[in-house]
Amino acid sequence: ELFVQYLASYSYKHGRGKEKNALTYSDLSHTAEECETFQFLADILPKKILASKYLKMLEKEKRDGEVGEDDEEEDEDETVNEDVGS
C-alpha cells in the first residue's frame, strides 16, 4: 500500500496532475519511464499509443525486416557462386 501511495503521489507531483487536479495513466507511465526508481515498471505501464501509429510501426518493421532478409539472400547467392566457380 505504501509503495502504491508513493508511486501515485510522485506521479501526481511530477506529472500533469497538478494542472488537471487528477492523476492519469499518462502520469504513471511517464513516471515509470523517466524516474530511475520506477524504471522496473516501464514494461508494466507502457505509454499509450494510437492503434494507427502502432500499425505504421509494424509495417515499417516488416519492410525493414524484408530489406535485411533480401541482403542476406544476396550474400548467400554470391558465396555459392564463388564456391561453384572455384
Cα 85 to Cα 57: distance, rounded to the nearest angstrom: 43
What are the boundaries of each domain within the chain?
A: 1-64
Position 69 scores a pLDDT of 52
User: What average pLDDT does the chain have?
Assistant: 76
- Tell me the pTM: 0.51
Residue 55 and residue 68 in contact, taking contact as beta carbons nearer than 8 Å: no
Position 2 scores a pLDDT of 95
Give 42-59 pLDDT, tens digit per residue.
Answer: 888 777 778 888 888 888
Please report how many Cα atoms fall inside a 13 Å half-sphere around the Cα of residue 19, on the Cβ side: 5
Task: Name the range with the highest mean pLDDT among 36-45, 65-74, 77-86.
Answer: 36-45
